[in-house]
Amino acid sequence: MASGLTWWWVSGLKTPSRSDPNDSVSNTNMDHTASTSLALALSVSLSSAVASAAAPQTTPQPAPEPNFQIASKWWADLWAFWTPIGWKDHLYRFNVLWNGAILAKPDMNRRSGGQGLQLSLTPDYEEWVQKFKADTLRQDDHQVRQGWNEDEAPVLWSEWSKNGWRIRSEAFAHIPGGGDVQTGNEPLFLWLRLRVLDPGKTLPAEQGQDFELILHRMVERYLNIFLEEQGTVKPPGPAYEPRPGYFSTPAQYKSIDWLSDNGAVLYTLATHALLSGDWEFIARSTEGLVRSCEWIAESRRKKNHGGYEGVLPPAVGTDNRGVIRGVWSIGWNYKGLCAAARVLEQIKHPRAAEFAREAVAYKEDFVKALRDKRSKAPVWRDEEGNSHALAPTSLAGEEETETQRAFYLDCGPLFLVFAGLLDGRDPMMQDTCAYFRSGPNHPAYRDDTDCWQRPVLEHEMSSCEPCYSWNVFLSWQLGDRGRFLEGMYSLFAGAVSRQTRISCETRGGITGNVFSAPLAIYLARLSVIDEQLTPGEFHLLRLMPLAWLVPGKAAVIRQVPTEHGPVTVETRLATDGKTLEVVYEPMFRAPPSNVWLHAPPLRDLGVVKVNDKKVWSGGDRLVAIGAASGVKSTPGRNP
């Protein structure tokens, strides 16, 4: 090694855990930050007071629209994260921690045991030993940077600095031959390279990244096990018995059964059928979809379980393991029922209308019960002293403190807009959003400390599990552009590592997963191409971020799967910002009844063209397009 640097590898570091809010180092940092902020705020306030006395009054400027750069100032990047590297479909992974340590612990899987290795890398062994003895290695001091090589292979680098030198490790996991896995349990190897970078050499600036939404065959592959195991697990509630239609996590792999599992699996199967238009998959899964719909209809009619009729009986609904009549479980099963009914309608199944009627009755019975339960709910007061009833998170079996726990936000009533059971304009949903946005939990809330403290929405993102920021769907439905983009960019900036792109379940807690990234990407997709807002209709550019409409540059979203078929949209704003060219290429299997284009709220925009035909030149920004505007769909394959 150059310049006398010595590399050591050391094993035996304690497994990292969630940051402890009571940790002495954390408290010292927090106290320092608080006192510094107080002094800064006082200084700014005094300076502002002096300046305002002398400065002329000016018209306040509107706040800029949220974008990634703005959101990155709201949220510190993820810390204490780990990034898995492995091989597609393999059972195991190597986890690379935030400090570059490499952890291989296959005995976390029930198929193996007694194996494992932790490899710690450091350019300064003495300093490492001191930190090890002080038990501070588990704390992220942000000295190690990480990222991915620009290469076809997913090579993860970690970089240290020492005496002006940059020292880098590069890691890549692979199986012999580099082909597809056969058993998922074959040997998995780690390739590791260490090198010193020239201190005078500057790496290229990070460029904006494209992302693609790709519908893989692997979706079908992962769904097959649920079809094969359907009906093998008893639903987790005393009123239920084993039935052939119930979807669940296979018994071999389950942790905690939630009644929502049936609806979530049903929804995923039906959505894959709708997006792929794959007739073979639809033919194989139709019987399973029908059986699950039958189970929902049968379960709603159960009696003698107490409480409201026409609603699914109580069962385990969260990790609390309590037997409740949770809105989360009810919402997911409704969501799955509706999606399955759409599949059956598309293939003209003889029972399609039956299950569509079942969905209507399901919603009516639930909403009636929910409103009755809310009429008896406790109230909270806003800053003006107005009273609001708390929306129920459960129709039966809830605990007294349920509304004070994180699950009230993550798995509670805000989910009902995404589920389709309540409209975002409903006063109950408006009050619930207000409770989390500015309600009584806020004064005691502390940023980035305990994810299990009383929940709030911070910049439109859940204070507990960002992937459960269901409020964004309320903003999406209402067309609340500012709050929608605030939530979407909060997910990109606050729930996904800016270094390795890995996402989190909780900030400062569980990472190494893809929990939050799919929601952020789905919202980005809906902002441009949206067939979910109104049944049978299609909306283009409805909430498209202005950050994607840069003069002289193109934004391309290619071959996006939709329930009607693949769609490509390309936008290009003229260099003077006055004309927006849109290329719209649908390949509909089942054409929508209407296609609407939303002219973006660009300040200087005067003309919008779709496929070289002018469709807007001022006035109402909602424009109907179709065959009359010269836009025709390329025929796609029907299911």
Please write the tens of the pLDDT for every residue from 74-95: 999 999 999 999 998 888 889 9
> Which of 463, 497, 528 is the C-terminal boundary of a domain?
528
Please determine, for residue 49, whether its predicted confidence score (pLDDT) is greater than 70: no
**Which residue type sits at 579?**
T
Report residue 202's pLDDT band, with 50, 70 and 90 as the boundaries.
low
Nearest one of 485, 493, 512 to 77, comparing CA atoms? 493
State residue 213's pLDDT score: 45
- State the pLDDT at residue 631: 58
Question: Looking at the structure, do residues 381 and 367 belong to the same domain, yes or no?
Answer: no
Query: What pLDDT was estimated at residue 633?
Result: 47
270 shares its domain with 308: yes
Cα 191 versus chain centre, distance: 31
Band (pLDDT 50/70/90 cuts) for residue 255 is confident
Tell me, yes or no, whether 519 and 431 share the same domain.
yes
Say if residue 227 is in the same domain as residue 370.
Answer: yes
Average pLDDT for residues 189-216, to the nearest whole number? 65
- From 178, 197, 216, give the residue that closes a domain: 197
Is residue 590 pLDDT above 60, yes or no?
A: yes
**pLDDT at res. 204:** 53
Residue after which a domain boundary falls, among 528, 546, 567: 528
Q: Quick one: what percent of the chain has pLDDT higher than 70?
A: 84
Same domain, 591 and 515: no
pLDDT attached to residue 252: 82
Confidence of residue 61 (pLDDT cuts 50, 70, 90): low
In the predicted model, is pLDDT for residue 606 greater than 60? yes
Task: State the total domains in the chain.
Answer: 4
Query: For position 45, what pLDDT does the model report?
Result: 34
pLDDT, mean of residues 226-255: 93
pLDDT at 339: 98
Answer whether residue 621 shows pLDDT above 70: yes
Predicted confidence at residue 31, as pLDDT, reads 35
**Residue 549 clears pLDDT 90, i.e. is over it:** yes
What is the domain extent for residue 558?
537-629
Asked if the structure places residue 358 within a domain, the reply is: yes
- How many whole angstroms separate alpha carbon 221 and alpha carbon 296? 25
> Rounded distance, CA 308 to CA 23, Å?
47
Using pLDDT thresholds of 50, 70 and 90, give the confidence band for residue 554. Answer: very high
- Please tell me whether residues 364 and 380 are part of one structural domain: no
333 is a domain residue: yes
pLDDT value, residue 8: 35
- Whether residue 343 is found in the same domain as residue 217: yes
8 Å CB contact between 94 and 74? no
Cα–Cα distance between 117 and 15 in angstroms, integer?
11
Q: Report the mean per-residue pLDDT for the chain.
A: 85
- Same domain for 514 and 543, yes or no, is no
| Pair 238, 305 in one domain | yes
517 and 578 fall within a common domain = no
Whether residue 40 is contained in a domain is answered as no
For 132-171, write each residue's pLDDT tens digit.
Answer: 888 888 889 899 999 999 988 899 999 999 888 899 999 9
State whether 494 and 565 are in the same domain. no
pLDDT in tens, 467-517: 999 999 999 999 999 999 999 999 999 999 999 999 999 999 999 999 999
* Residue 428 in this model has a pLDDT that exceeds 90: yes
497 within domain boundaries: yes
Check residue 106 and give its pLDDT.
67
- Number of residues in the chain: 639
- Looking at the fold, whether 477 and 548 belong to one and the same domain comes out as no
Quick one: pLDDT at residue 206? Answer: 43
Q: Is the pLDDT score of 194 beyond 90?
A: yes
Residue 422 CB coordination number (10 Å): 25
Is 53 contained in some domain? no
pLDDT at 17 over 60: no
For residues 398 and 414, give the distance between their C-alpha atoms in angstroms, rounded to a whole number: 17
Crossing angle for the helix pair 352-374 and 327-346, to the nearest 10 degrees: 160
32: pLDDT strictly greater than 50? no
599 and 624 Cβ atoms separated by less than 8 Å: no
Highest mean pLDDT among 1-5, 132-136, 551-555: 551-555
Query: Which residues are bridge partners to 121 per DSSP?
Result: 9
